[in-house]
Structure 1
Amino acid sequence: MKRIIITPALSLITTGIYASVGYASEFNTAFLQGTSEVPSILREGVRYPAGHYYADVSLNGNKTGRVPLAVSLEDEKNNQLCLSPEWLQNAGIFFKPEIYQDTFDKGRGCYMPGRKPGTEVNFSLTSQTLEFVIPQAWLADKNDATRWDYGINGLRLAYSGNFNKNIQTRHAGYSNDTLNSYGTVNAGLNLGRWVLSADMNASRNAWGNTFSTNNLMLSTAISQIRGDLQIGRSQTRTELFQDFGFYGVALRSNSNMRPWSARGYAPVVTGVASTTSRITITQGGYTVYSRVVPPGPYRLDDITPVSNGNLVVSVEDNSGKKTVSEYPVATLPSLLRPGEFNYNLAVGKRSDSSDVKDAFRSDSGVFTLGSLDYGLASTTLNTAMLLHSRYQAAGMGITQPLGKWGAFSASVNASKAAYDHEDTRSGVSASFKYAKNFTSRTDLQLLTYRYQSPGYTEFSSWHPGERFSRPGYRFDGEDQYYRYSSFSGREKARYEARLSHSFDAVSLSTSYWQQSYWNRTRSAAGASLSASTMVGNGISVFLSSNYARNAWGGRDDISGSVSMSIPFSIGGVNHYNTASVSSSRNGATSFNNSTSATVNDRFNYSVSAGSDSHQNYSAGASASYAFDRIQTNMAVSRSRDTSTLSGSVSGSAIATAETGLILTKESSDTVAVVRLKDIPGVTFNGSLPTNSKGNTVLYLTGYNPTSISINPENVPDTTELLNTSFDVVPTDRAIIYREFAFQNVKRYILRLRDSTGEILTGGSAVTEQGLTAGYISNNGVLLMNLLAAPEHITITRENGKKCEFSGTPLKENTGKVQEIRCE
């Protein structure tokens, strides 16, 4: 038997023949030349005729896509489709592999799901559809590993940078005319299931230039253990120990692989900027955030999720004056469902420097770290252990839900650290955390207490070369004695609480923290209180106050601010006018007013002005514009003593074999490159329009099921889409590629007249290939949508009479009615 190739045109012909044959047991083959055997598509009882098709696929009544379908002679003979895992994925058919393992043909590498009782695979030649009926319990979850898409090979460089240049207009006690700049690059090289990634940043200021890297690793996702294998420089992740950077190998769970989980924690940093200022936030010596803010109150709620360990916030104004504050961070471990677990195994050398040149200079020796958090029936257990030739630590904790009384966690750590000068420290650390929703309006977000004995040492802060003085002991080269003070200034106890409450029209939140130290009578403390409300027609009011005390002396600082935002419209564009007053004990009272607007999806701007009680003034303006290839922002401000110019850019460059080089403003870790070949101006899921090659880039979230759908509004009328959406579950840092298939349709609008000039009424049109081209309406109009230009068209009228006309002079896709005489 000859293999039959079903093209779009031929499929219509064979479909018509197949329909007319019906279920005849015998078929006259006299009209077939070169064969006396009935083709399989015309024989009774053949469920899957061999050939190539373009089938609409559906699962339990829901369409999943339109894909090519190749039916082999063996499929036809067995009366079963054998479908590869790749084909099933492209078609959107995801079932649990273990359920259908007995239908898998190892020799051919494909599943025959129709063999499974309770499963139906129905192919309709007449409608070119393939329908799957699979029990719901046998289907994979939306983010099941069988749905994961590791993307295509490619290189991605996501970047962002900002600068500010201060020009002193007169002497103000400080001078900072240097160009300050900061830039970060997130690079990823995707090869199959592996990703080589690096996070790097560089800065330039009056004190010099720096370059550092936080992560430099090769990683891959392992679905069987719901975790990632990482090789290179990364950070530890445990609930009980402070995290630190290291070079080595790690195997750790990834909670994002679960259906739904928290994606990380970071505090909200608030304050008041006296002038245009740069705010830099570091943790563990690495910069996690940098931004230039205008004068007035600021609220930073977009900080990259952080781990355990204090945040150091540095605020530098345009005169070069810098203030530094510290935010203790202690996160409450999430409860795990019964049977769920988080783990972390790591072997390597601690890295105390983020400079690339210091990558292999660490002399701290090799450590081994292991941690496991496991969910029991009603309790989560936390365990961790760190082993080193001169340092050992272990910890254990529990997290317990208390029903209506909230939830708490408690843990105890012990450490033993040896030092070069025959000194050994041992100690314990204990912590207690509590959280509760008292009512639907009152939430105690976190209540924390932590105690550390004098000898307790975290591995992240252990330095074996450190010296400690003792009474009567003389250091080499020194002429005086020191009293015993080795524990002075070390952390002793910390308290922290955050409380929020919502009234009918007012939201209130407050926080307090206090840190005490060994051998010091003064403790550090901080408190904040904020309230917000909406009044009138969209007018919002925000009040905040802050208190800060330093353990090493100095005057306690108290600050506060109040701001009001009023919406209004100009030329159909929504604007917001924000006025604020702020004051602090250690500074002046300042007044600021700004107006901002988002003109469209690409452009927004703002203007501002302000003054303070020291007769300083400021004025400024900023504008942001999103180009297809880059996101930009520029700002200029002027005060009594300084003029400041600042700006920022962000975006990414993506290079793949399928798409070539693409520059885009999207700078996320996980992206989708979507293509509608050579058709510009089309959007997907609210993306920017496709470029001249038909490419655009979408932001995605790792392991989050997403449907990539086309917006048909800007698709040309002559384009017939073969698919309109794709469901994807991308892995972290994947470059997903999807091409939307289409056919260019030739559209004709004709008004037909007979040989006498009378308008034809009713009848059907057929091309020279025997394809039905359309039907004539009562006003003589014939609409034809064809894949190829017709050479000859025959009209059969309702009375059986026929007439013909040539298709050669017809003009396609004009959108106008063409007068045709049919003779």
Structure 2
Amino acid sequence: MAASTTLAQTPPVTIEPTPPATAGSAPAGFNTQFLMGKIPAADLADFLKGEGVLPRNYWLDVAVNRNPAGRHNVRFVRSDTLGKLVPCLTMTALDDFGVDVGQLRTRGVEQGLEATAPCVDLPRLVPEYTFDYQPNRLRLLISIPQALMRPATRRRIDPSTWNAGATVAFTNYSANTRRDWRDGSTPTNSSYLGLRNGLNVGGWRLRNDSNVISNSYGGTRFTSNRTFLQRDIDAVNGQLTLGQLYTDGQVFDGVRIRGVSLNFDESMLPANERGYTPVVRGIADTNATVEIRQNGYLLSSTPVSPGPFVIDDLYPSGSNGELEITIIEADGRRRITRQPFGALPMMVRAGALRYNAAMGYYDSTYGELPEPAVFTGTAAWGARENLTTFGGLQASRGFQGLNLGGAINTFWGALSADLTHSRSTTRGASLSGQSLRLLYNKTFTRTSTNFTLAGYRYSSEGYRTLQNHIDDQGQLSSAYPTSYAATRMRTSFNISVYQSLGERYGSVYVSANDQTYWNAEGNRRTLQTGYGNTYGRISYNLSVSHTSDMSTSSYNSMAYRTGSDTRAMLTVSAPLGSGRLAPTATSTFSGGNNETSSIGIGLNGVLPGDRELYYSVYANKYDTVSTSASLSGRLPSTSFSVSASQGKGYESANLTANGVAVLHGGGVNFGQSVGETFGLVHIADTRGVGLQGGGRTGSNGYGIVTYLSPYARNQVSVDTRKTDSDIEIEQTTLHVVPRRGAVPLIAFKGATGRRIQFEIVASNGLPLPLAATVEDAEGQQLGVTDVKGRAMVFLQQEKGTLRAKWGRNECVGEYALPRRDAAKAYQRVKIVCLLQGGTRQQATR
């Protein structure tokens, strides 16, 4: 085949026409006799019967019963029974999809089918089986009766597939620099650089939190705040941590130690075994479907047989909101019941055990307090369906703390109570006391009232926390004992309530906290309440806050009240126009008992362009008028913000940047700030490939996926809309299941080349027929011809051999590409091919 604008002069060649379709095989609704031309048409039966698919392998996103099952390489074969192309599914593939293959094998034996057949004959084994191939979305939807699915398989991931990730080092940074000008003073500078550093080697993860502070007065100072080493312990579903760490704070107040801890990691469990949920029980009269909803969201839809049923694998959408159970009988009858549901952080499912243990030496922040050995251990056990018992032990030199408690889910909400007894000995003086804590959680669905959390604690005068005990020791041993003076809590009360008033009347919230102390008069109080609603396109919110605070005396260990403050603020905002680029105007009015009222007006929005750049301008009238402006956005390798402010007697400018630098075997890459678990994409022989969620691969072919969920199936996709046309990606989606803190390497197969639209004509001047396949010299399919004999192909070689096939006919030759035109997504080339093949008919004009 030679690139040419004129037809090559070659002798006529005889070719064999495509055999006519057999009776009954011609697809209804399309008559191939309308395809005109002297060259015999290609056999279109596979296209027209197989929904646009040819008998070969395809990478497809598979979903079983509407649940994603990952991306798989699926082979399509012709089914003589159905008379069309169908997906060839093996027992291994079906097992991966969550199908109970044991039941299939039993059915196969009963029907005399071979258990080792390469393709499972699902139409015979499962008459209800259906599939829907969507070629335009590269999706395969499979429907199999729920009775043939393994229970909860859709959420269970084999631990052997957990990915420990690559060997990498990274630095997650947050940088800020500021310059201030004040009348009559020299300009001052201050800078801050926060670093979250990490190194992953095998299953071990080393982490360090540190910062660098620099200013005009104190110079530059580096501080390392915390360093620890961590890894998974699969046998006990735990995280082993060594170094500087914090003890668990659910039962006892957490403290920082230098030592070792082993903490239960609930993320290692299947999703339907995490957290707490009640068991749903009921009775079905027929083969029924049980639908369970919470706050309007469907949690599960489960087929059940006649008689009693138990559903214990729910995964609630939140910790509050009663469950609505709908039983849909076979005859269409629907019965609806409701079951109360509330949960507290320490609650677990029946029979489940959760634990946390840590031991080491107390790690003083300032290095002045004593650093005794410390041990903390806690556990929670699901004693019954609605009852969790928990407790723990905390010990140090001269200190013992013991906790026992329980949590229960009732019709009136979730309630927990626990009692902590402490004994503290300092220089022969022994103190003991108790602390009682009550917690409550409830959502009243019918009135849309949500008690997020209500709590009360009372501590006797002799009660000490571990931190109180260490503070007391430091006070006695220090030359400046009053520097350790601290308030000792007597009572603490907190509540948070959210009330929806309906679509027309908005919502209101109230939160309050009140604390009293043994060694201080008065209390420390915070009260906040607010109301929000919309009127047309205008949103408004009114909030009121009241605070009163206390401070430790610098002369004795007593504390005193510093006064109170009450403030109110009204905020009104409305878009100025419609569309994504329409700015939003905001007005604020605020005032309080301790300061002058203020009024402000602002405008914020997004600038036009490929990159999203957000702007904001604001003016405020307090004693005087002040103004400010900011611009923020995301670049491929960082997020940034620039702002400036001006008022009476001062000016200031500020610049911030956030991002990550990752060092790995393929080089160094920069990107947006990453989470605890993130990914590294590699697409060899490419650059600048867009990634879903933002970002691109660099010149080394690597890119950063900023966040992944640990121990869960994560879909990582290439964004072809942000990828140059000269790049070809074999698969656009892959799945990965990372361990916590891992950085898995996700390798896509890609290539850089050129897209060419060939107009292919035979050596006698006739275009090739519709649906002829175009292959390279190695037999790899590159494209299919359209009705004008044109085919869009992707090539990596400037010169080579192409082969076109249809039926038993073939056309082979050489091609040579013209000079690349960077202004075009693809180029057009007219080529001539030499026919090869049969003896029945001569191809002539």
TM-score for the superposition, normalised by structure 1? 0.68
Q: Deviations over 1:396-425 (max 9, x none)?
A: 11111112x011111111111111x32222
For residues 380-419 of structure 1, the aligned pairs below 5 Å read: 380-403=388-411, 405-419=412-426
**Which residue is 1:530 aligned to?**
530
Alpha-carbon separation, structure 2, partners of 1:251 and 1:766: 60
Paired residue secondary structure (1:376) = strand
Q: What is the deviation of 1:142?
A: 4.4
For residues 335-346 of structure 1, the aligned pairs below 5 Å read: 335-346=347-358
Q: Which amino acid aligns with 2:699?
A: S
Q: Deviations over 1:746-782 (max 9, x none)?
A: 7451342545x56676896888969588777664546
Paired residue secondary structure (2:621) = strand
Alpha-carbon separation, structure 2, partners of 1:793 and 1:200: 59
Alpha-carbon separation, structure 1, partners of 2:273 and 2:239: 17
Taking structure 1 as reference, are residues 201 and 789 closer, same or farther at Cα in structure 2, changes over 3 Å only? Answer: closer
* 1:750 paired residue among 741, 759, 764: 759
Alpha-carbon separation, structure 1, partners of 2:677 and 2:790: 51
* 1:496 paired residue among 494, 497, 504: 494
**Which residue is 1:373 aligned to?**
380
Q: Which amino acid aligns with 1:664?
A: G
**Which residue is 2:200 aligned to?**
190
Q: Which amino acid aligns with 2:667?
A: G
1:242 corresponds to 2:240 = no
* 2:565 paired residue among 557, 569, 586: 557
Q: What is the deviation of 1:691?
A: 2.6
Compare 684-693 and 568-577 and name the one that shifted more: 568-577
Alpha-carbon separation, structure 2, partners of 1:803 and 1:122: 31
Paired residue secondary structure (1:684) = coil
Give the conservation status (yes or no) of the 8 Å contact 1:765–1:793: no
**Which residue is 2:360 aligned to?**
348
Q: Which amino acid aligns with 1:493?
A: T
Paired residue secondary structure (1:589) = strand
**Which residue is 2:604 aligned to?**
596
Paired residue secondary structure (2:190) = strand
Q: Deviations over 1:318-338 (max 9, x none)?
A: xxxxxxxxxxxxx95342111
1:148 corresponds to 2:154 = no
1:610 corresponds to 2:614 = no
Paired residue secondary structure (1:667) = coil
**Which residue is 1:423 aligned to?**
429
Give the conservation status (yes or no) of the 8 Å contact 2:710–2:740: yes
For residues 468-547 of structure 1, the aligned pairs below 5 Å read: 489-504=487-502, 505-518=505-518, 520-537=520-537, 539-547=538-546
Alpha-carbon separation, structure 2, partners of 1:386 and 1:444: 31
Compare 373-382 and 176-185 and name the one that shifted more: 176-185
Alpha-carbon separation, structure 2, partners of 1:649 and 1:263: 37
Q: What is the deviation of 1:714?
A: 4.2
Alpha-carbon separation, structure 2, partners of 1:92 and 1:606: 54
Paired residue secondary structure (1:240) = coil
Q: What is the deviation of 1:736?
A: 1.7
Paired residue secondary structure (2:165) = coil
Paired residue secondary structure (2:522) = coil
Taking structure 1 as reference, are residues 543 and 144 closer, same or farther at Cα in structure 2, changes over 3 Å only? Answer: farther
Alpha-carbon separation, structure 2, partners of 1:490 and 1:141: 47
For residues 107-506 of structure 1, the aligned pairs below 5 Å read: 122=118, 136-137=150-151, 141-169=155-183, 178-204=188-214, 208=218, 211-260=222-271, 333-353=345-365, 358=367, 363-377=370-384, 378-403=386-411, 405-419=412-426, 421-439=427-445, 440-463=447-470, 466=473, 489-504=487-502, 505-506=505-506
**Which residue is 1:682 aligned to?**
689
For residues 664-675 of structure 1, the aligned pairs below 5 Å read: 664-675=671-682
Q: What is the deviation of 1:58?
A: 9.1
Q: Deviations over 1:700-747 (max 9, x none)?
A: 233343111222334455655332211222222211211111355874
Give the conservation status (yes or no) of the 8 Å contact 1:165–1:645: yes
The percentage of counterpart residues that share the same residue type is 21
Instruction: Give the structure, 1 or 2, with the largest relative contact order (CA under 8 Å, sep 6 or more).
Output: 2
Alpha-carbon separation, structure 2, partners of 1:476 and 1:767: 84
* 1:630 paired residue among 617, 638, 659: 638
Alpha-carbon separation, structure 2, partners of 1:759 and 1:57: 33
Give the conservation status (yes or no) of the 8 Å contact 1:244–1:460: yes
**Which residue is 2:547 aligned to?**
548
1:694 corresponds to 2:693 = no
- How big is the alpha-carbon RMSD for the aligned residues of Structure 1 and Structure 2? 4.5
Q: What is the deviation of 1:367?
A: 2.2
Give the conservation status (yes or no) of the 8 Å contact 2:755–2:827: no
Alpha-carbon separation, structure 2, partners of 1:169 and 1:773: 71
Q: What is the deviation of 1:792?
A: 6.0
Q: What is the deviation of 1:382?
A: 1.5
Compare 515-524 and 780-789 and name the one that shifted more: 780-789
Give the conservation status (yes or no) of the 8 Å contact 1:57–1:63: no
Give the conservation status (yes or no) of the 8 Å contact 2:380–2:389: yes
Alpha-carbon separation, structure 1, partners of 2:182 and 2:547: 31
The size of the alignment, in residue pairs, is 635
Task: Extract unaligned runs of 5+ from structure 1.
Answer: 1-52, 70-87, 101-116, 125-131, 265-330, 470-474, 479-485
For residues 779-790 of structure 1, the aligned pairs below 5 Å read: 779=788, 781=790
Alpha-carbon separation, structure 1, partners of 2:771 and 2:357: 76
Paired residue secondary structure (1:713) = helix
Q: What is the deviation of 1:247?
A: 0.3
Q: Which amino acid aligns with 1:350?
A: Y
Alpha-carbon separation, structure 2, partners of 1:739 and 1:545: 53
Q: Which amino acid aligns with 2:759?
A: L
Q: What is the deviation of 1:809?
A: 4.2
Give the conservation status (yes or no) of the 8 Å contact 2:777–2:803: no
TM-score for the superposition, normalised by structure 2? 0.66
Q: Which amino acid aligns with 1:375?
A: G
Q: Deviations over 1:345-388 (max 9, x none)?
A: 1111011126xxx5xx8743322221111122121112110122
Taking structure 1 as reference, are residues 558 and 708 closer, same or farther at Cα in structure 2, changes over 3 Å only? Answer: same
Q: What is the deviation of 1:118?
A: 11
Q: What is the deviation of 1:464?
A: 7.0
Q: Deviations over 1:78-133 (max 9, x none)?
A: xxxxxxxxxx9xx998699xx99xxxxxxxxxxxxxxxx99868389xxxxxxx99
Paired residue secondary structure (1:339) = coil
Q: What is the deviation of 1:190?
A: 0.1
**Which residue is 1:619 aligned to?**
627
Q: Deviations over 1:521-568 (max 9, x none)?
A: 42222211112112212x211111111123423432111111111112
Taking structure 1 as reference, are residues 818 and 179 closer, same or farther at Cα in structure 2, changes over 3 Å only? Answer: same
Alpha-carbon separation, structure 1, partners of 2:246 and 2:95: 38
Taking structure 1 as reference, are residues 580 and 144 closer, same or farther at Cα in structure 2, changes over 3 Å only? Answer: farther
Give the conservation status (yes or no) of the 8 Å contact 1:752–1:782: no
Taking structure 1 as reference, are residues 490 and 120 closer, same or farther at Cα in structure 2, changes over 3 Å only? Answer: farther
Paired residue secondary structure (2:659) = strand
Give the conservation status (yes or no) of the 8 Å contact 1:214–1:234: no
Q: Which amino acid aligns with 2:431?
A: R
Alpha-carbon separation, structure 2, partners of 1:204 and 1:769: 64
Q: Which amino acid aligns with 2:436?
A: A
Paired residue secondary structure (1:152) = coil
Q: Which amino acid aligns with 1:647?
A: L
For residues 17-32 of structure 1, the aligned pairs below 5 Å read: none
Paired residue secondary structure (1:523) = strand
Give the conservation status (yes or no) of the 8 Å contact 1:250–1:344: yes
Compare 337-346 and 808-817 and name the one that shifted more: 808-817
Give the conservation status (yes or no) of the 8 Å contact 2:353–2:379: yes
